[in-house]
Amino acid sequence: MDEASETEVRSLKFLRVLVTVLTAVMIVGFIVLIVFLVTRLPGAVSLDLPDQITLPGGASAVAFTRAEDWFAVVTDADQILIYDLESGSLRQTIDIVAP
């Protein structure tokens, strides 16, 4: 073997080691990320929601959102119903008007 081929073989071996180390670091990092998400996210958000919500007029819920002291339900009758989170009483009704 000549000197250029020997240098090339050493460079390829070094490159192979670098790629292997990078792959191992990425796998470990991905596993750590998944473990972090699994252990931290379920307990991070506490949703204290009422067990049951009675919508007026037999409307069906289409969407739901929650804030600090209220929650809102969007109905299929094009209304947004805003309820008090603590008491569950209806605070406000907003009609959705199409443009």
Q: Tell whether 41 is covered by a domain.
A: yes
Q: Specify whether 31 is located in the same domain as 61.
A: no
Q: What is the mean pLDDT of residues 3-21?
A: 89
Q: Specify whether 64 is located in the same domain as 42.
A: no
Q: How far apart are CA 61 and CA 76, in angstroms?
A: 6
Q: Tell whether 36 is covered by a domain.
A: yes
* Residue (of 74, 67, 76) closest to 94 by Cα position: 74
Total tally of structural domains belonging to the chain: 2
**For 39-67, how does the pLDDT look when each residue is reduced to its tens digit (9 = 90+)?**
877 665 666 667 778 788 888 889 989 88
* Residue (of 84, 83, 85) closest to 93 by Cα position: 83
Confidence (pLDDT) at 24: 98
Both structure tokens of 87: 């008491």
**For 67-98, how does the pLDDT look when each residue is reduced to its tens digit (9 = 90+)?**
888 999 999 988 999 999 888 888 999 998 87
**Full domain range(s) for residue 24:** 1-46
